[in-house]
Amino acid sequence: MITESDDYFRRGCGRCGRFDTVDCSVRLWATDLRELRRICLAAGLEETVKWGHPCYMHAGRNIAIIGAFRGDVRLTFFNAALMKDSEGILERQGANALHPSMIRFDQLRRVADLEPVIRSYIAQAQGYADAGILPAKEPRVIDLPDELVTALDCDPELAEAFFGLTPGRQRGYALNLGTAKKPETRYARIAKFRTRILAGKGVNER
Write the CA distances from 126 to 48, 75, 133, integer angstroms. 16, 15, 10
Per-residue pLDDT at 15: 83
Per-residue pLDDT at 140: 62
CA R_g for the chain: 17
Query: pTM value?
Result: 0.74
Confidence grade of residue 95 (pLDDT, cut at 50, 70, 90)? low
Report the alpha-carbon distance of residue 78 to residue 83 in Å, rounded. Answer: 9
